[in-house]
């Protein structure tokens, strides 16, 4: 199995299993998601999420989430990525040449 050419975000350190367990223990296996109301989810959780997307696998960038909150966050990030993509499909107004005005 090769990691070259695979999705950058899917790359995890060799000691990921250990890091994951440490984060779960630190958080007491409880979801750390904070809702817009300021309340913490607190549901039993066994999924470890990267707070900031990317390759920072430091415990400070990791948190425990329940399956529900993790799915929601992942869906939100995917939607964000879709929005960030250039809208090539959109019908464009024909561009007028600046010199023809
Ligand atoms: Zn949760």
User: Could you read off the pLDDT of 20-76 as tens digits, one per residue?
Assistant: 999 999 999 999 999 999 999 999 999 999 999 888 999 999 999 999 999 999 898
pTM of this prediction? 0.70
Range of the domain at 39: 13-62
User: Residue 92 falls within a domain, yes or no?
Assistant: no
User: Residue 28 falls within a domain, yes or no?
Assistant: yes
User: Residue 34 falls within a domain, yes or no?
Assistant: yes
Residue 81: its pLDDT value, please?
86
User: Residue 47 falls within a domain, yes or no?
Assistant: yes
Residue 89: its pLDDT value, please?
60
User: Residue 23 falls within a domain, yes or no?
Assistant: yes
Q: How far is the CA of 73 from the centre of ligand 1 (A)?
A: 10
Residue 2: its pLDDT value, please?
47
Those residues with Cβ within 8 angstroms of residue 65's Cβ, 6 or more apart along the chain or in another chain: 31, 32, 33, 41, 45, 47, 48, 49, 73
Taking alpha carbons only, the member of 34, 100, 24, 94 closest to residue 69 is 34
Domain total of the chain:
1
Enumerate residues with CB within 5 Å of ligand 1 (an ion): 31, 33, 41, 43, 66, 69
User: Residue 69 falls within a domain, yes or no?
Assistant: no
């Amino acid at each position: 199995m090769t990691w070259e050419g695979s999705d950058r975000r899917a790359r995890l350190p060799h000691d990921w299993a250990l890091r994951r367990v440490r984060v779960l223990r630190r958080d007491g296996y409880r979801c750390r998601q904070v809702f817009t109301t300021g309340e913490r989810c607190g549901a039993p959780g066994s999924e470890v999420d990267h707070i900031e997307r990317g390759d920072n696998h430091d415990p400070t960038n990791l948190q425990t989430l329940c399956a529900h909150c993790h799915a929601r966050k992942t869906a939100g990030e995917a939607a964000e990525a879709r929005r960030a993509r250039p809208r090539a499909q959109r019908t464009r107004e024909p561009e007028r040449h600046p010199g023809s005005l």
